[in-house]
A and B are shown apart, each in its own frame.
Chain A
Amino acid sequence: MSDIDRLFTQLRAENRKAFMPFITAGDPDLEFSASVIRELAARGCSMCEVGIPYSDPIADGPVIQASYTRALDKKIKLAQILEMLAGLKDVSMPRVTMVSYAIIYRHGLERYVAGTKAAGVAGAIVPDLLVEEADELAEICRREDFSLIQLVTPTTPRDRAVRIAESSTGFLYYVSVTGITGERTKLPPSLIENVGWLRQQTDLPICIGFGVSQPEHVKLLAPVCDGLIVGSAIVRRIAEAADRPRAAVLKEVGEYAANLLAALEARPD
């Protein structure tokens, strides 16, 4: 059981849903990333997705792309990110990395899993690793009790979605839109039905991400899933830390997360 499995076991027992913010490691610097993670944990977030900056992120919209570019311009390396994460072991909120397979492959599959695990990370989301190409990494993750969270999208055929669900561990990441990361005002009308169908196919927790940013989204989606992931809306707020007092930005990010958490907890059931 990874920390993620334990998290969802507990949340389900309490009839609660997970709230998972995404941040880019090293934007604007690693010290601030650590402060944000602590702030999010203090506000009651369930888990944090830590984006490992990559030079060629094709699934990401302008906000996350720009945050990766800012971090890479500061020459931030994976080793430094792991060092920052290792300093957060007193924080009980689980962390997972969102990372390109280009980076995992370059560092070596075993070394990446062992290195991030040693830094207190519970799993990885690898947005450019398809289920067909995932066997080698999945085997290592199984052995290391490290979650390998896979993604289903609106374009995924249903038989394939079942196959992905069977291969994913920790939770299943449902991508709400056919597109790249970024805030949307409206989410696709078929979303509820698709996730509802998927819910019938697997016991694995299902979390929805991409485009989620408003309390209305949270209220709409919470009943059909186990958790929600919010990325660009958080990263955009953190981006302001470059030219504003950091304490103010930290408070704003925390309040934004708390606002969405409140919407999540306020569900009628």
Chain B
Amino acid sequence: MLKPTENPTNCFLALFEVHMSTSPTKAGEASANVPDAAGRFGDFGGRYVPETLTRALDELTVEYEKAKHDPAFQAELDELLHNYVGRPSPLYHARRLSEECGGAQIWLKREDLNHTGAHKINNTLGQALLTLRMGKKRVIAETGAGQHGVATATACARFGLPCVVYMGSEDVRRQAPNVFSMKLLGAEVRPVESGSRTLRDAINEAMRDWMSSVEDTHYIIGSVVGPHPFPMIVRDFQSVIGRETREQSLERIGRLPDLVVACVGGGSNAAGMFYPFIEDREVELIGIEAGGRSSQPGDHASPLSFGEPGILHGSYSYVMQDEDGQTCDVHSISAGLDYPGVGPEHSYWKATGRVQYTNCRDDEAMKGFDALARCEGILPALESSHAISKAMELAAQRSKAEMVVVCLSGRGDKDANEIARLKVKASS
């Protein structure tokens, strides 16, 4: 075991060894049968929250297990996904974009065509149904880009639940159209002024609300982050993305894709896309983090690329922390990726080598945005633009016979003003 040391550098190396040497997580052994009862994906995950929240998390775990095995719950959710969300979302062959890249065939999983314009609604409807099952009367949520906020406000309007959305004030500024939508849908948007005034602070504030309101309120968390059982529940509700993609690939080209690409902030669209492929070892999975301005600390939001395992927002996962354990400020052009942590299952997939993670800079994401707009007539969300950009780069290196699927997690209308502002700034 680690001995106290005067040398902080050695300490952190030793610290890493302690936790990694006892690790049950080994390369090449990624299982779909995670998490365990304690919420562990290999070493990652778990539950690091105040005692006040334990009972609610236990209740949620029990209720979710019941719902999962209740055909009536599944039927109700399926009906909503079909007739309200518009699922299945199309798998679209982006022929002109593929030609432009000159390599593999790029296909887009069109989550941008869902009701509310992103994948987030898959999760919020499922969790709204759980809220009703648990007899809770009020919903809170956090949001970064505002997509999860809109999707939560939508689900709450649909089921008549009062809804409060916490949003960093910096994101309120960057994503004004979504703030307006949430209000139109009857939700109360509470701007968060603490810390970096982004997604991380919105999660802190939602957790604090939940600390006081836990008896009658459900917290619909928007990504595969937080304490157990949230990472599992959100992954499961989002897995409809990967299941459909799998079926559609088999139907359209008679086999599974060679490569699947998705952007990773907290990582919910990527988890939903990747999870159904985890045991299809021939399918390469690549997650794209926000590379921001550079690889310097504070310039990006890529904990899997540049961070280390630690604790944030209730789980053990890769995180951007300083040497004292304080969470670092991060940067991304996209509010939905501007987060210093990542879902614990992504850390598990990284540790096992099942998913490769890389990152895409702000300027590269903008190029991905432009390319998709001009070649295909689709405005992607800035978050999804990161995946588009890297997929174009990867497709260019591969043969025309190969199939690359990109999760187009959301539409870009919400970003139009911010992109206009950035383009003016870049040209001045």
* A residues at B contact (CB < 8 Å): 54-61, 65, 69, 72, 77-78, 100-111, 114-115, 127-130, 132-133, 150-157, 160, 164, 175, 177-180
Which residues in window 168-216 of B have CB below 8 A to A? 194-195, 200, 204, 207-208, 211-212, 214-215
Query: What is the 8 Å Cβ interface bit string for chain B, positions 1-43, against chain A (1 contact, 0 not)?
Result: 1111100000110110010000000000000000000100000
- Is the CB–CB distance between A103 and B51 below 8 Å? no
- Is the CB–CB distance between B4 and A110 below 8 Å? yes
- Is the CB–CB distance between B311 and A107 below 8 Å? no
**In whole angstroms, how far apart are the Cα atoms of A59 and B14 in the complex?**
30
Provide 9 A-B residue pairs closer than 8 Å at the C-beta atoms, listed in order of the A residue: A58-B207, A102-B321, A103-B325, A110-B2, A111-B5, A130-B48, A130-B49, A153-B50, A177-B212
B56 interface neighbour in A108, A127, A155, Cβ under 8 Å: A155
The residues of B that contact A154 with a CB separation of less than 8 Å are: 52
- Is the CB–CB distance between B4 and A179 below 8 Å? no
Q: Given A108-B2, A111-B11, are A58 and B325 neighbors across the interface (CB < 8 Å)?
A: no
- Is the CB–CB distance between B49 and A128 below 8 Å? yes
- Is the CB–CB distance between B194 and A69 below 8 Å? yes
Q: Is B324 an interface residue (CB 8 A)?
A: yes
Tally of A-B residue pairs with Cβ under 8 A? 133
* B residues at A contact (CB < 8 Å): 1-5, 11-12, 14-15, 18, 38, 46-56, 194-195, 200, 204, 207-208, 211-212, 214-215, 310-314, 316, 321, 323-327
Rank and list the top 5 A-B pairs by shortest CB-CB distance, nearest first.
A106-B325, A103-B325, A179-B212, A102-B311, A114-B4
The residues of B that contact A164 with a CB separation of less than 8 Å are: 51
**In whole angstroms, how far apart are the Cα atoms of A133 and B40 in the complex?**
11
**In whole angstroms, how far apart are the Cα atoms of A104 and B312 in the complex?**
12
Interface centre among A56, A78, A128, A132 (most CB of B within 10 A): A56
- Is the CB–CB distance between A58 and B311 below 8 Å? no
Chain B residue, CB-CB nearest to A111:
B4
Chain A residue, CB-CB nearest to B16:
A108
Return A225 CB to nearest CB of chain B, in Å.
17
Q: Given A105-B325, A106-B310, A108-B2, are A58 and B54 neighbors across the interface (CB < 8 Å)?
A: no
- Is the CB–CB distance between A108 and B11 below 8 Å? yes
